[in-house]
Structure 1
Amino acid sequence: MGIAPSTPLTLALSPEGERDNTTVSAPEFNAAEAGLLERYFTNLDRPVFALRNLPEVVKGALFSRYSRTEKSLRRVLLDEFINEPDSGFDRLAGTPPVDDDMVAVRRAEEFYERVLVGYGDDSVAELAGAHVAVEQASTLAAKALEDSRIGISPLEKSTRYVRFDRRAEDGKYLYYRGAELTSPDYEPAAEALFETYSKLVEPATQAIRERFPQEEGETDRAWKAATRAKALDLLRGLLPAGTLTNLGLYGNGRAFEYLITKMGAHELPECQALATSLHRELSLVIPAFVRRAMDERYGKPAADRMVRVRERLAQLTSPPAGQVRGGGMEPSVRLVEFDPEAERKVVAAALFPHSNLPLEEPTSDVDAVLDALLDGRDNRRQRAPRALEHATYTFEIVANFAAYRDLHRHRMLTQDRQLLDTDLGYDLPRGLVELDMAGDFSRAVEGAADAHRRLERDLSRALAQYIVPLAFHVRWYFRVNLREIYHLCELRTTPQGHPDYRWVAQEMFRRVAEVHPRLARYARFVDLGPGDELERRKSERKIDEKLSALDQRVR
């Protein structure tokens, strides 16, 4: 098929003589070309369009070539991929290949890799993405996967909405049982935790439903969902860190490459095995972008270095011989560091794009600038502006691991935690005390703590984490700017949130308000109140309203 020359795009003018960016005055493609291209783009005649039905490797190569040519993106696809015999485009983007075609598919992939090498750099890997499901991973491994902040978006199975009392085919509960966990104390302790969880689920749910009866106008679905969530919230502290969970990950190629390398260097064998599995599966969908993740030139040396650094630092921070750890510790949020110049820096940053002066020179009335910048937000989804990123804070937090697990998901901050153990004590939910179920909870958790001490002695501190229930405290730090403080605290203090992470977010905001009251006073949607007793009741009612409205539209 002949290749037509690229047609210049001539933008139409509106009646007032202004340029109209929504239409193109002359078609770029003839009818035959349009027939080939229409499957791959949302439109062929406007300057803004989306791609569809293209493999990730083709999209990555397409954008890579696009950055080095004057042609339009659609023209590049037509001229250099669809109409290029060596590209094997049909093998990758056309009909699904049969077994005999796999050699041709591999040749096509090599063609696109050559395009990436010739026209792209590392950043091109951010233009190709993949969805990955990771199932039957421990909560510890899930936290390791979710620890990559940039380029990866995770979603994990919820302890609030899903019961964890199902058994595997061998009759045991669903927790990680890797070959490295050789201690005879591990499985009995894990089984005891799940037995207690399973024993309490139904009585706790029934007691909560008696305490919070169904209200007039409340659907059966909403009431049952809210009361079940309350029961599961109270019991989640029994689940050990080895509890199996499922999660979905969406990420770009560059982020996945680093994630695989980092997981390959992890101290837990489970995470190392996940690195191998991720690399194998992603090599089937975005091979060119994860090729270096575990290779001998880049990936493996990088992972080896991570291991050496971790081991050296661990040697430097080990407790002196004979030192006794532990003693328990109440939950706390401590502001370790803040910038006394934060107000001035925020004001200067806010004025900077509207001035022609250097960053440090603009001066103005602080209250007037902050009013102009932050006043008038109607809801928390109207995000605080970028200037607030010039105010930074470092917090050291002690709270239960379940609360850490919730707050760990926030991306626009720097965070790290210490190993999970039993030294800092655990939280006993007040709701279980009120339901007269605290004894069963405490016995199970303290039994797991005894097993944890033996696992630490017989295996290692890292492996002993698997048996630690989520109720136990862990210490971590957040280094965060004020813009993220607004987002995190306004989101995590909503009345329907879990009381444990609500308390952490409230305390973080209180510490900021103590040192920077003028900067904090505009965070109008931080809720410092006690929260809802039945946290999910209002949210479930809103879901019913949305479902009803959707049903009306469908009819």
Structure 2
Amino acid sequence: MKLSEGAKKVDNQPNACSNKHMQAAEAPTTTTSRIDYPPRRIYSVAGVPPEIQAYALAKYSRSSQGMLESIQELSQQKAEQFLTTFYFQYGHRSIADLAHLVFGLEQISILAAIAVVDEPVWDGQERSTRYQPFRKTGWHLPDEVRGTPGQAVFERTAETLLGAYEHLSHALVEQLMDAVSRPPEMADGTYRRTLRARAFDVARSLLPLATYTSVGQIVSARVLERQISRLLSSPYAEIRAVASELKQACQTPAAAPLSAEPQPAVAPTLVKYADASTYPTAVDAEMNDAAWRLLGDLGEPDRSHTVELVQPASDPLDEIVTTLLYRHAAGGHSYAQVQMLVEGLSERRREEIFDLAVAARGARDDLLRDHQSGYALIFDVLVDLGSYRDLHRHRRCVQIAQPLGWQHGFERAEDVFTAGLGAQAALGALEAGLGEYYAESLQKAETAAGTVADVSSTGASYLLPLGYRVRCAFKMDFAQAAYMIEQRTQPQGHFSYRRVAWQMYRALRERYPKLAEPIRAVDPDGPFDLLRR
């Protein structure tokens, strides 16, 4: 299309303003030198208190200064003022992700440790039941039992279990040494330590949840705030006390074993408002009642599967309602049983249950873990508490554990001994009466816990040995399933979770054979070397 003469004339008119800018932009390149920008800097930073570090990082979005320059200008008082304004008043919660803190939590019960580490974004370590004897660490007497008629029974049972654990450990080492010769190239100390670790893998089944352990953690201040709030809402007095002391540790001078200089508090500002939330406790009360009324007619829990790959729901609402009822199923019903019940409910009833789980949510409350839905792979797992603690470390999964209880029983001595000691040592241990000793120790603990439960059901939970089973659902995607299966079927792993991971693999392979092809799973029933670590 041709332009008219008039249009051409207008377009060709010189524009003084435009020409001036174009001339400036099109200056002769031969006379222009390159701008001397500052050089690239990549560096590490150490020795800066966490809240000041968080302030310095947060300033990247609000200042052209570098981090080192920002830090040099900062003080704890300035950091506190900044964090109070932007974190608490304006709600910029991501700022707390920039402060990372290290804590040691020592002489807490295994029960409390399970609660402490139950964070999706968490880094840390707990004392290993494989490499350390637990007889001398002692055990926790819960406040719920202290000073009651159940205290004497509790103390006697806890001591008996720890004594049985020690006796079984020594006896199993002897059986292993009879069955497994030391290779000439292996040092005697290494040989004994390796066999002792195998014995501990079996004997840990007798450790009660009251047993003291230690946890070290590195977490962001945002995770810490959520962790403290969650623990303060616990029904267990010890866990609430741990939360209070964790909060106090943020607000008092930090320990510095490698420095003689006095240290500041690590997070006096970011966690000062962390408090118990009424939201999860309100949901628990509503869901416990709903589960009791709805699941009562399901009959006995289905324990026919150690691992069951559940068919995912087509409607996210169904999955959320199923998960809520499953988590509060005190009777221990399987995920599939609860799912079938939910599918039979009217839409109005399902919506009512969903509404109960959000009605009490406050302005700063996140939605519950139960609300995380849409995962294609949901594994319902029935496993001993000891191995549940190991699988619990896979925090990329959405983990929904049912209440602690005795209803699922414990792992049989024949299965545990054979899987953990090998056929020859297991046969020797069973012939020596150690299988009966194992079973009697666990049964006596259950009987005693019934007496303690008359005083306090939460207190009685501390007597649960690690050999008793718990039910938990693991929701995940394919990549996490592959990672979990590959990690947990390796020969050096604990025999119990190896069996769980292998059954996860088999269930996945049966339903999605193509997805299972690249997974490097190791069959736990294949040959394994007791001296391999």
TM-score by length of 2: 0.71
In structure 2, give the amino acid aligned to 1:59: Q
Q: Distance in 2 between matches of 1:286 and 1:322?
A: 47
Give the structure 1 partner of residue 175 of structure 2: 207
Q: CA contact under 8 A between 1:415 and 1:479: conserved in structure 2? A: yes
Alpha carbons of structure 1 residues 119 and 76: separation in structure 2 relative to 1, 3 Å: farther
Deviation at 1:179, TM superposition (A): 2.4
Report if the CA contact (8 A) 2:490-2:498 is conserved.
Answer: yes
* 8 A contact 1:331–1:399 mirrored in 2: no
Counterpart-to-counterpart distance in 2, 1:325 and 1:142 = 33
What code does the residue aligned with 2:488 have? R
Task: Report the equivalent of 1:386.
Answer: none
| Other-structure match for 2:417 | 430
1:61 equivalenced with 2:42 (yes/no): no
**Partner residue in 2 for 1:77:** 71
**Contact between 1:391 and 1:482, CA under 8 Å: does it hold in 2?**
no
1:220 Cα deviation from its structure 2 partner: 2.6
**Among candidates 250, 273, 278, match of residue 304 of structure 1:** 278
What secondary structure, in the 3-state scheme, does the structure 2 residue paired with 1:310 have? helix
**Residue 513 of structure 1 contacts residue 519 of structure 1 at CA under 8 Å; is this kept in 2?**
yes
Q: CA offsets per residue over residues 405-461 of structure 1, 9 Å max, x none?
A: 11011111111211222211111223455413111111110001111222333312x
The answer to whether residue 379 in structure 2 is matched with residue 395 in structure 1 is: yes
How far did 1:270 drift? 0.8
Counterpart residue number, 1:442: 439
Deviation at 1:329, TM superposition (A): 4.1
Larger radius of gyration: 2
Secondary structure (helix, strand or coil) at the match of 2:378 reads strand
Instruction: Return the alpha-carbon distance in structure 2 between the equivalents of residues 433 and 280 of structure 1.
Output: 52
Identity %: 26
- The 1:531–1:241 alpha-carbon spacing in structure 2 relative to 1, beyond 3 Å, is farther
* CA RMSD across the alignment: 2.7
Match of 1:292 in 2: 273
Judged with a 3 Å threshold, the aligned counterparts in structure 2 of structure 1 residues 68 and 321 are, in CA distance, closer, same or farther, namely closer
- Give the match's secondary structure for 1:131: strand
Give the drift of 1:531.
Answer: 5.1
Give the aligned partner of residue 453 of structure 2.
456
Q: 2:223 aligns with which of 255, 275, 290?
A: 255
> 1:531, 1:456 → 2: CA distance?
42
Q: Secondary structure at the match of 1:192?
A: helix
Q: Deviations over 1:216-262 (max 9, x none)?
A: 32223331221010110111100111111111111000000000000
Alignment correspondent of 2:158: 190
The 1:57–1:67 alpha-carbon spacing in structure 2 relative to 1, beyond 3 Å, is same
Greater RCO (CA < 8 Å, at least 6 residues apart): 2
Do the aligned partners of residues 278 and 65 (structure 1) sit closer, same or farther apart at CA in structure 2, a change above 3 Å counting? same
Letter paired with 1:116: L
Q: 2:109: which partner in 1?
A: 138
Which residue number in structure 1 is paired with residue 119 of structure 2? 148
| CA distance 1:238–1:532, shift in 2 (3 Å) | farther
Moved more, 258-267 or 508-517: 508-517
Distance 2:213 2:440 in 1: 25
Match of 1:9 in 2: none
Flag the 1:325–1:243 CA change in 2: closer, same or farther, 3 A. Answer: farther
Matched, 1:48 2:42: yes
State the alpha-carbon separation in 1 of the partners of residues 182 and 212 from structure 2.
Answer: 33
Q: How far apart are the structure 2 equivalents of 1:142 and 1:225?
A: 26
> Are the counterparts in 2 of residues 331 and 473 from structure 1 also a CA contact under 8 Å?
no
Contact 2:56 2:70 in 1 (8 A): yes
Conserved 8 A contact 2:498-2:524: no
In the alignment, does 2:268 pair up with 1:268?
Answer: no
- Counterparts of 1:276 and 1:516, CA distance in 2: 47
What corresponds to 1:180 in structure 2? 144
Distance 1:193 1:328, change over 3 A: farther
The residue identity in structure 2 corresponding to 1:128 is A
Partner Cα separation in structure 2 for residue 482 and residue 503 of structure 1: 19
**Counterpart-to-counterpart distance in 1, 2:104 and 2:525:** 37
Residue of structure 1 aligned with 2:127, choices 141, 154, 157: 157
> For 1:433 and 1:466, how far apart are their aligned partners in 2?
32
2: CA distance between counterparts of 1:510 and 1:454? Answer: 41
Shift in alpha-carbon separation, 1:240–1:403, aligned structure 2, 3 A: same
Q: Distance in 2 between matches of 1:162 and 1:325?
A: 42
Distance 1:196 1:310, change over 3 A: same
* Alpha-carbon distance between aligned partners in 2 of 1:393 and 1:221, rounded to the nearest angstrom: 44
Cα separation, 1, equivalents of 2:296 and 2:471: 22
What SS class does the counterpart of residue 400 from structure 2 fall into?
strand
Structure 2 counterpart of 1:333, from 307, 318, 324 = 307
Cα displacement (A) at 1:399: 1.3
Q: Which residue of 1 aligns with 2:500?
A: 504
Runs ≥4 residues deviating over 6 A: 319-328
For 1:317, the equivalent position in structure 2 comes to: 291
Displacement after TM superposition at 1:533 (Å): 4.3
For 2:299 and 2:440, locate their aligned partners in 1 and report how far apart those are by CA, in whole Å: 22
Are residue 229 (structure 1) and residue 197 (structure 2) matched?
A: yes
CA distance in 2: counterparts of 1:113 and 1:477, whole angstroms: 41
Letter in 2 for 1:538: R
1:322–1:458 CA distance, 2 compared to 1 (3 A): farther
1:240 pairs with 2:208: yes
TM-score, L = length of structure 1? 0.69
The alpha-carbon distance between structure 1 residues 534 and 189, as it changes in their structure 2 partners (threshold 3 A), is farther
Which residue of 521, 525, 528 corresponds with 1:530? 525
Deviates more, 1:326-335 or 1:218-227: 326-335
Q: 1:339–1:391: 8 Å Cα contact kept in structure 2?
A: no
Instruction: Tell me by how many angstroms 1:155 deviates.
Output: 0.6
Aligned-pair CA distance for 1:72: 2.3
Paired letter, 1:188: R
The residue type paired with residue 526 of structure 1 is A
8 Å Cα contact 1:495/1:531 also seen in 2: no
Is residue 493 of structure 1 aligned with residue 489 of structure 2? yes
Residue identity opposite 2:393 in structure 1: R
Q: Pick from 370, 393, 397: which aligns with 1:413? A: 397
Q: Distance in 2 between matches of 1:157 and 1:140?
A: 13
Shift of the 261–401 alpha-carbon distance from structure 1 to 2, 3 Å rule, reads same
Match of 1:277, SS? helix
- Once the two structures are superposed, the pairs formed by residues 9-24 of structure 1 within 5 Å of their partners are none
The whole-number CA distance in structure 2 between the counterparts of 1:526 and 1:285 is 43
- Could you say if the C-alpha distance between residues 327 and 450 of structure 1 is closer, same or farther in structure 2, counting changes exceeding 3 Å? farther
